[in-house]
Structure 1
């Protein structure tokens, strides 16, 4: 997925252009870019709109990932403290 596809997918989840720009910069940094980055997003009338279904799926994924990370940390802490999980 290129930048246009990424922007489209994010605009289906939020109507906050600042949040979308921050996600673009965060993704670039995550992928190893070290350049000086700025982003300006101009949304024309035909820009993608927030999709309730897509936003719901995004929220469900975020919740799942949050729970999974908490579970991994909990299991790691138990193991690190000498209380194996199995």
Structure 2
């Protein structure tokens, strides 16, 4: 439930008007990169152009996805990969 709400918030913010947005979402459980890709494509209706898991300077793992959405805009969406909260 919390994961669903966090991703819904993430998607709502990703609809902002700028050409590229970076969004950090709270995600209390482990989320694989494949799961993140499927969820973002399903919820945005967009196409994931690239996806990678990176470790930030403080050791937090995040999935970073570049998504082609409506009107040809590219969004960068970042989702927590593990139990770390932002």
Which band: TM-score by shorter chain? 0.3 to 0.5
Q: Between the two structures, name the one with larger relative contact order (CA 8 Å, sep ≥ 6).
A: 2
| TM-score, with length taken from structure 2 | 0.36
More helix by share: 1
